[in-house]
A and B are shown apart, each in its own frame.
Chain A
Amino acid sequence: MSEEFKSGSGSLTSDSLEADDVLAGAEPWDPVETKLVLWSLAIAAVVLVIGLFVVPSSVLH
């Protein structure tokens, strides 16, 4: 077992983290992202409507 594991830090230590590109370098918005966002909102809307009818404790009951 590695020393890093024992000390609980994981094999990634702060020295080896390269974090610059985590916050910078945003890609341009892609149509597939619009699709992803709209699909998840659509799922939310459908589940909301069905749920309001089906769940006995919802405000519709």
Chain B
Amino acid sequence: MNLDCVLRHDGRNWVAEGRELSVAAPTLEELDQRLAERLRSSGQLAPGKRLQVFMAFDNSTIPQWIRQYAQHYFNRIVTVTG
């Protein structure tokens, strides 16, 4: 099972947003932990199961004048376990 979400940075926190899901944390480690907790508590992640989360970075976070030089920041795949 896979989950797709958009990742951005609001200046202080990394924010991952998907359908009916939004978690924020100052570091990616904490973000991943909070995401796993949220998925467990919402029942989307059953105990012992694994879920692959694809996080596509939202490049509109980067100022427009920079986007002409580079159009990609990073995408990441995180596997969370229930």
Q: Do A and B bind each other?
A: yes
How many chain-B residues does the 8 Å CB contact rule pick out?
14
Q: In the complex, are the beta carbons of A16 and B64 less than 8 A apart? A: no
* Bound Cα distance A21, B35 (Å): 25
* Bound Cα distance A30, B65 (Å): 35
> Majority SS of interface residues in chain A?
loop
Q: In the complex, are the beta carbons of B65 and A16 less than 8 A apart? A: no
> Majority SS of interface residues in chain B?
mixed
* Bound Cα distance A4, B60 (Å): 9
Contact of A2 among B9, B11, B12, B60 (CB under 8 A): B60
* Bound Cα distance A9, B55 (Å): 23
Q: Determine how close the nearest CB of chain A comes to the CB of B23; give it in whole angstroms.
A: 17
